[in-house]
Structure 1
Amino acid sequence: MPVYILGPIYFVHGALELEFGNAKMELVSSDIQFYFLCSLLSLFSALIVRSIFFKKPSISTSLRLPPSPPSLPIIGHLHHLRPLLHKSFHHLSSKYGPLLYLRLGSYPCLLVSSPCTAEAIFKTHDANFAARPVSPFNDSLLLGNSGFVNAPYGDYWRFMKKLLVTELLSPRQIERSRAVRQQEITRLLRQLIQSAAKTEVVDVSALLTKLANNTICRMVMSTSCSEEDDEAEKIRNVLKKSFGLVGKMCLADSLGPFKKLGFWLFSKEVNEVTTAYDELLEKLLKEHEEKAKNYNDIEDHNKDLMDILLKVYHDENADFKITRAQMKSFFAVIGEGGNGARVGMEEGLTMSLSMASPIRCLPSVYFNPFDDA
């Protein structure tokens, strides 16, 4: 009998000890979490106080800075900005003058609204304003220092600027790309006429964005972004991800002492976009190299910017020897610039149609000038 009684008693006693032990462990764990949170809050508070009161100014106070509107700690002049940036800038320049000093988060900026001042900055003092901040993602094709936008002022930056102006934006190149632009505009008008026949609602902003993307992609790499194939779908997905990522990185970079934390949060996404860009652009570069080998010498009017850069890349006597990574970064930035046309269309005065009300196409066109018949 005692054996059968003591067994459960010992079992219950052991369970009680185990329960009390778990309670003690939970209390200890809660204490550790509490102390950790207190330490973390103390660290953040110290960083905020240091950034506000004890941080040395990045710009010498002895310099005569342009006039500046009232600012707030940490965010600077961000509270003056509204969703329509051009209206916010116009209001600030009308109130404080054509040349303003702004601090957007941790970024010092100049707001220029005078044509004479802008000409002096971009022509007379171009070298003084060409400095670029060092990117924490040096190996990234889109955000690294090997791209044209983020590259430091030097031989590479001057070479790529000259190449961009002479081969992509020159009157000769614009004339050569006339056929491309006519084809893309014709495609857009065909789509509008088809929508009119069906009385469909049309997102003009999206169509104009597609027009800009397709034109730039065909001028740069002879590839359209709106085709219904796997390669075009990959291009669209990469552009969409990269455009969202650039916005996140700009936000993280404006956090001042906390920007390293923001970079760390988005580092995985940066690596994914970089890998996708690298694979896509490497495939396009190899296709262009194979085309150049098969046709020996491509006619000038059929050359795109990728063909021109590859010719410079393989030329041993070129003025500047570019690397493959620099070419990929250049095309990544150009592609992102075309995708960013949507921002200007949604915020511009003449392209704000989709923000007011959708446009419904009515079948008022009885004669189709683009009919093949």
Structure 2
Amino acid sequence: MADSTSYLLYIFLFFFFTILLHYLFHRRSYAPRRPPTPPALPLIGHLHHFSPSVYKSFHNLATKYGDLLFLRLGRVPCVVISSASYAAEIYKNQDVNFSSRPKFAFGDELPYANAGFFAAEYGDYWRFMKKLTMTELLSQRQVERSRGVRREEMLKLLRKLCECGEKKEAVDLGAELVKLTNNSTCRLVMSTRCSGDDDEAEKIRLLVKETFEMASKVAFGDVFGWPLERLAFWMFGRQARDVTLRYDEILEKILRQHEDRGKREGLDREDRDLMDILLKVYQDHNAEFNITRTNIKAFLLV
């Protein structure tokens, strides 16, 4: 028992001093004119300023240090804005400078982890997908269609609440609102519900739940960097790949169904969804940018 305790202590000290040395000798240099920042601690940065009520912590920091402040969450530097004027400056005037996203610790080792739009670096693909999102995915036609889908799902929820009220049965309103949001989103994306009584919806629901649980574990390595990022991949990398491949199986099945329907009825029909729009671009060889099936599935996965 004493030997086991000693080994664990040696392992802990090894990781502690490795991280400490990495922090001391490999710290990134930031521009001297950075926004105001609260006191930080080694390794964890400003994480000690946060309580379980994260939004209250951000509000307290903004009240004390201003609407623009610099924070370091573990190894991750970030700038926090708390005013509409700063938000307009970043998203309108400086949008190119803030377009790229930091890479995941082991994104290259996961199926299509870097193929999605939201994690893509600024470039031809990012610009094309942004243009497509603004002109097609968020067009007036799609917004009008979303209104009808939301209405149907809302009426379904209200009918269930009325039925439970007549039977004097308790209802978990929080769970029902989550179902409402999930089903509205999934119907607009790929014309299927992802929260319901059928096997396919239950499979998607469990996958989403498992993804959130896994992401919280993997984020530990992203926040604290090497060597913990490699430790996180060693512990949870296989699970991450497994979850992604199960998503891929479901999305590929739905993608083929949309392709078959597109051959029969066309991809420009009135009730087209997000997957139909992306499929039309995928099949257009003269498009400004040729996206792949992997790009489509990665976009839908996020």
- Alignment TM-score, normalising by the size of structure 1: 0.75
Q: Is residue 90–residue 98 contact of structure 2 (8 Å, CA) maintained in 1? A: yes
Q: Is residue 37–residue 71 contact of structure 2 (8 Å, CA) maintained in 1? A: yes
C-alpha deviation, 1:39, in angstroms: 5.7
Aligned equivalent of 1:201: 170
Residue by residue over 1:255-275, the C-alpha shift from the partner in whole angstroms, topping out at 9 and shown as x without a partner, is 233222112211011111111
SS of the residue corresponding to residue 110 of structure 1 reads strand
Check 1:141–1:224 CA distance in 2 against 1; reply closer, same or farther (3 A cut). farther
SS of the residue corresponding to residue 83 of structure 1 reads coil
Q: Does residue 1:274 correspond to 2:244, yes or no?
A: yes
Task: Indicate which of 145, 148, 153 corresponds to 1:179.
Answer: 148
Check 1:248–1:47 CA distance in 2 against 1; reply closer, same or farther (3 A cut). same
Check 1:99–1:41 CA distance in 2 against 1; reply closer, same or farther (3 A cut). same
Aligned equivalent of 1:120: 89
Percent of pairs identical after alignment?
A: 48
Aligned equivalent of 1:250: 219
Aligned equivalent of 1:222: 191
Aligned equivalent of 2:27: 57
Unaligned 5+ residue runs, structure 2? none
Task: Indicate which of 291, 305, 312 corresponds to 2:261.
Answer: 291
Aligned equivalent of 2:139: 170
**Structure 1 CA distance, aligned partners of 2:274 and 2:12?**
52
Aligned equivalent of 2:11: 40
Amino acid at match of 1:285: L
Task: Indicate which of 227, 230, 237 corresponds to 1:260.
Answer: 230
Task: Indicate which of 12, 36, 60 corresponds to 1:67.
Answer: 36
Q: Does residue 1:327 correspond to 2:296, yes or no?
A: yes
Check 1:201–1:43 CA distance in 2 against 1; reply closer, same or farther (3 A cut). same
SS of the residue corresponding to residue 186 of structure 1 reads helix
Aligned equivalent of 1:27: none
Aligned equivalent of 1:150: 119
Aligned equivalent of 1:364: none
Give the alignment's Cα RMSD to 1 decimal. 2.1
Aligned equivalent of 1:133: 102
C-alpha deviation, 1:291, in angstroms: 0.8
**Structure 2 CA distance, aligned partners of 1:110 and 1:92?**
12
SS of the residue corresponding to residue 201 of structure 1 reads coil
Q: Which deviates further from its counterpart, 33-42 or 321-330?
A: 33-42
Check 1:139–1:229 CA distance in 2 against 1; reply closer, same or farther (3 A cut). farther
Aligned equivalent of 1:9: none
Q: Which deviates further from its counterpart, 97-106 or 196-205?
A: 196-205
Aligned equivalent of 2:51: 82
Check 1:41–1:244 CA distance in 2 against 1; reply closer, same or farther (3 A cut). closer
How many pairs are equivalent? 299
C-alpha deviation, 1:87, in angstroms: 1.3
C-alpha deviation, 1:327, in angstroms: 0.7
**Structure 2 CA distance, aligned partners of 1:132 and 1:106?**
15
Aligned equivalent of 1:355: none
**Structure 2 CA distance, aligned partners of 1:164 and 1:331?**
12
**Structure 2 CA distance, aligned partners of 1:260 and 1:114?**
37
Q: Is residue 111–residue 241 contact of structure 2 (8 Å, CA) maintained in 1? A: no
Q: Is residue 141–residue 277 contact of structure 1 (8 Å, CA) maintained in 2? A: no
Check 1:205–1:44 CA distance in 2 against 1; reply closer, same or farther (3 A cut). same
Residue by residue over 1:252-301, the C-alpha shift from the partner in whole angstroms, topping out at 9 and shown as x without a partner, is 21123322211221101111111101111110111111111122x24532
Q: Is residue 281–residue 328 contact of structure 1 (8 Å, CA) maintained in 2? A: yes
**Structure 2 CA distance, aligned partners of 1:228 and 1:37?**
47
Task: Indicate which of 198, 210, 224 corresponds to 1:241.
Answer: 210
SS of the residue corresponding to residue 270 of structure 2 reads helix
**Structure 2 CA distance, aligned partners of 1:240 and 1:56?**
36
- Alignment TM-score, normalising by the size of structure 2: 0.91
C-alpha deviation, 1:42, in angstroms: 5.0
